[in-house]
Structure 1
């Protein structure tokens, strides 16, 4: 696990905005980027937890409250980032309603469908829209956090699958529209144990949970964070419009019912 709140953390002068950053994968990405010297703006709808997490992460973290599905909040939040730091080099669109399961299609409420797509898909579009001019100015990069649900499904996950599939498509559309100044890629995680460390200790995953993966374990937030950090770096300068699957090989595994 990453160490948080290190007073000796360097600052490379670059600024990243990470949405859905108060917990889970978004928090892991934020912490990783901070260890690499980024100034990270954590955006989240949970003001109380987001502010607390930013304090724990140290001087290179700053919190802004934001519901990514509401354009007025996105616009104001991005303006706050620019007012505070004067630049923006990277955008990580991670905010999502994470539970993939909804009621059976026949009883799926349209309001629930619309809210999930608004957060998971429209939010990424709104962030890209309002961040694009500033990312262009510094030849920045966007990483969208999609899901293997974009290409695989269980029953009753129509809204989530549609939102993540749309996010993969939005990624390559943005890459073409915003290039060459801005690179845009997405990461599609599989099973990532993104629970708080206390919960992980109290309810550890089973041996079978880990063993069913070709790599022998369930993923961690650091697995995703490392990939995101690379995609934001100069080392990925020739990479855009791509989807990177981080799932321990599960989507390549043939599974048959006994």
Structure 2
């Protein structure tokens, strides 16, 4: 009797980890940005939250656009060619590697997530230009040392790296712990590296109500934070202009964009490590 195919075994293990009885943030967010990699339970809570706070759809879409502008700035203005993207989520249009390698084909990207659904779709992320490289780590934000060690297989830590953590830190309930995790990763990156963060914020009653509804759904809770708390993640870094602002206001496209006028409960920023 032949040994089982390792790929089939791995696929079965991934399927066993996917729980379709509770909403999940990656699938929920995928539904909000128009993706198809979600289940009925995700769409149900999504539709419920749309009734409570329709603005969360704008948060999802404009946060994605912020990612594209931040990556573009880092590649074109700062010469960054390496990205460590933690909390990858499910692939949609203009993922980090697509934006970066479109501008710099030699860019290298490491995606990090511990969600089984994201892992199942990793092949969609693991495309790369011949000059660059894209890799995926099945790893946990709560173990930053393991992330850094594994990422060394793709990234050169003697050169600057952009750490991307978008719409992810809200899953860490304790704020000081979240700050500590970010600091530990940035400590492992060289001078000239950058930190990019965006997250939903407690800047309206609607967003707070939406967060409460999501956290009551059985999903892993997601805690919205104040703008000041978002800014705290950048302590010790040099903030890039215009600082910590609504994601629609962070370096909007030249010539203006209708989205730049949307008031959203999501703030983001980019910080540079000087030493």
TM-score (norm 1): 0.49
TM-score (norm 2): 0.47
